[in-house]
Protein backbone atom coordinates (compact mmCIF):
# COMPACT_ATOMS: atom_id res chain seq x y z
CA UNK A 1 0.00 0.00 0.00
CA UNK A 2 1.39 3.38 -1.00
CA UNK A 3 0.56 6.43 1.07
CA UNK A 4 1.59 9.11 -1.38
CA UNK A 5 5.22 8.10 -1.87
CA UNK A 6 5.55 10.37 -4.89
CA UNK A 7 4.24 13.30 -2.88
CA UNK A 8 6.51 12.31 -0.01
CA UNK A 9 9.65 12.34 -2.15
CA UNK A 10 8.55 15.62 -3.69
CA UNK A 11 8.50 17.15 -0.21
CA UNK A 12 11.70 15.40 0.89
CA UNK A 13 13.84 15.10 -2.27
CA UNK A 14 17.04 14.08 -0.54
CA UNK A 15 17.62 10.80 1.25
CA UNK A 16 18.80 12.62 4.38
CA UNK A 17 15.65 14.71 4.62
CA UNK A 18 13.44 11.71 3.94
CA UNK A 19 15.21 9.44 6.43
CA UNK A 20 15.19 12.16 9.09
CA UNK A 21 11.46 12.62 8.62
CA UNK A 22 10.82 8.86 8.62
CA UNK A 23 12.76 8.32 11.85
CA UNK A 24 11.00 11.32 13.40
CA UNK A 25 7.61 9.81 12.56
CA UNK A 26 8.65 6.36 13.75
CA UNK A 27 10.07 7.87 16.94
CA UNK A 28 6.82 9.72 17.64
CA UNK A 29 4.79 6.56 17.10
CA UNK A 30 7.15 4.59 19.34
CA UNK A 31 6.79 7.18 22.10
CA UNK A 32 3.02 7.19 21.76
CA UNK A 33 2.95 3.41 22.07
CA UNK A 34 4.97 3.40 25.30
CA UNK A 35 3.03 6.32 26.80
Which one, of 2, 1, 20, lies nearest residue 11 by Cα? 20
pLDDT given for residue 10 in this prediction = 75
The contacts of residue 35 (CB under 8 Å, 6+ apart) are none
The contacts of residue 18 (CB under 8 Å, 6+ apart) are 8, 9, 12
Total number of domains constituting the chain: 1
pLDDT given for residue 19 in this prediction = 84
What pTM value is reported for the model? 0.40
pLDDT in tens, 1-35: 566 777 776 776 787 887 888 888 888 877 776 66
**Cα–Cα distance for residue pair 23/35, rounded to 1 Å:** 18
pLDDT given for residue 25 in this prediction = 86
pLDDT given for residue 12 in this prediction = 61
DSSP-derived letter for residue 1 is -
pLDDT given for residue 4 in this prediction = 77
**Cα–Cα distance for residue pair 35/28, rounded to 1 Å:** 10
Range of the domain at 27: 5-34
Amino acid sequence: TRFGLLEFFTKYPTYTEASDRIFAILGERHVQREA
